[in-house]
């Protein structure tokens, strides 16, 4: 019975990674068309990048990046309509929320994977292989399901 519980923990934890990745792809994909215009405005008027020479003095590099980010944010907010600002903030908040949920699931999945490896007294490299394979499977699941959904919609559109 202990074997079954360890495997349930392993699979359950990785479902807590795959689920949020898939849901994030769905929700953020729905808002993608509206965000493209904001990205176009941002790309057209971005301040120049910070010089790579600042890597010689990392604290100042950090300050310069912060200054550039602040200038970019102010420039972008001055050129967007209130509706676009609302859309941008909503998109960023959703993305941040799903990122946190996914990372939480990933940490739980790593713990459960470690416990599975300990249960079977496996080498450390087995843990890393399982984590990489399971993470790739979760990401592939979301990508393939999104692609399949788009193909179905396109086929239906072509038939109409």
Residue 5: per-residue pLDDT: 95
Residue 120: per-residue pLDDT: 96
Q: Do the beta carbons of residue 132 and residue 149 sit within 8 Å?
A: no
For residue 98, give both structure tokens: 């799903």
Residue 33: per-residue pLDDT: 58
| Structural domain for 41, as ranges | 2-159
> pLDDT tens-digit profile of 122-150?
999 999 999 999 999 999 999 999 999 88
Among 35, 26, 33, residue whose Cα is nearest residue 88: 35
Sign of CA dihedral 97, 99, 104, 108: positive
The number of domains in the chain is 1
Q: How far is CA 116 from CA 1, 3, 14, 55, in A?
A: 14, 9, 12, 42
Give the angle 86-87-88 at the CA atoms, nearest 5°: 90
pTM of the model: 0.77
Rounded to whole angstroms, the Cα distance separating 152 from 100 reads 31
């Amino acid at each position: 019975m202990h074997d079954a519980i360890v495997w349930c923990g392993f699979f359950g934890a990785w479902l807590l990674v795959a689920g949020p990745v898939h849901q994030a792809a769905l929700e953020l994909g729905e808002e993608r068309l509206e965000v493209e215009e904001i990205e176009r405005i941002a790309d057209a008027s971005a301040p120049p990048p910070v010089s790579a020479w600042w890597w010689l003095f990392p604290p100042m590099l950090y300050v310069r990046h912060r200054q550039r980010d602040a200038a970019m944010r102010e420039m972008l907010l001055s050129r967007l309509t209130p509706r676009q600002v609302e859309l941008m903030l909503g998109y960023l908040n959703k993305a941040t929320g799903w990122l946190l949920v996914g990372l939480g699931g990933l940490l739980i999945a790593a713990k459960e994977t470690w416990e599975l490896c300990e249960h079977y007294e496996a080498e450390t490299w087995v843990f890393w292989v399982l984590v990489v394979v399971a993470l790739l499977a979760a990401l592939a699941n979301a990508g393939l399901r999104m692609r399949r959904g788009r193909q179905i919609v396109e086929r239906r559109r072509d038939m109409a």
